Amino acid sequence: MKKCIIVAAIMTVSMLSVFTLASFAQDDVPYTFLSGPSGPRVCLGSWKPSKDPALPGTCYGQTMDLNQFSASSSRLGAERLNSVIDILSSIDQRLSVNNAQMQNMLLAIGNMQRSMERQSYQDSGLNEQINRRFNALPQEILANDAFRREINKLREDILKDVDARISAKTPSRGSR
């Protein structure tokens, strides 16, 4: 009877140790957590549980202590974070260069618009000068109706030509 109790106790202890070595695999992670006599371990390969419940399963790959696994995972996470930071820094630098180029382009466009407005203003002053010069002709010339009609026709032709050139130089507001 004493032998039966000892055998039963040994079998119970061996069965309990086998069950503690069995893994509680998780489907969403590529590794399996194991419980062992020396503490929790991690199977980094594929875990194949044994068909015999009395035997532990097999890890096809590296096993690692949970503390080592945490440290290496933290290091890997830090390395990946550093690479992401490097990529973001590179993007930030490129955006800074692009922003500077965009600012320079906007300044150049603004300067060009102001120059075109000044040119347009100067060209519109040309109409006034033409009218002033024609109006300053001596009255003796304007007294003759034939001369006056020809001079007025000449003035109108010149003003139309100036207006056509001005409108060809300045872009329309809708084309921007």
**Element counts in the chain: helices (H) and strands (E):** 4, 5
pLDDT of residue 98: 93
CA angle 156, 160, 164 (to 5 degrees): 170
pLDDT of residue 26: 40
pLDDT of residue 153: 92
Dist. CA 153–CA 142, nearest whole Å? 13
Question: Which two tokens mark 123?
Answer: 């060209």
- The list of the chain residues with pLDDT below 70 reads 1-29, 120-124, 166-176
The pTM score is: 0.42
Measured on CA atoms in the order 155, 160, 165, 169, is the torsion positive or negative? Answer: positive
pLDDT of residue 19: 41
Question: Which two tokens mark 169?
Answer: 């130089």
pLDDT per residue as tens digits for the range 49-66 = 888 888 888 888 888 888
Contact between 126 and 160 (Cβ < 8 Å): no
pLDDT of residue 45: 83
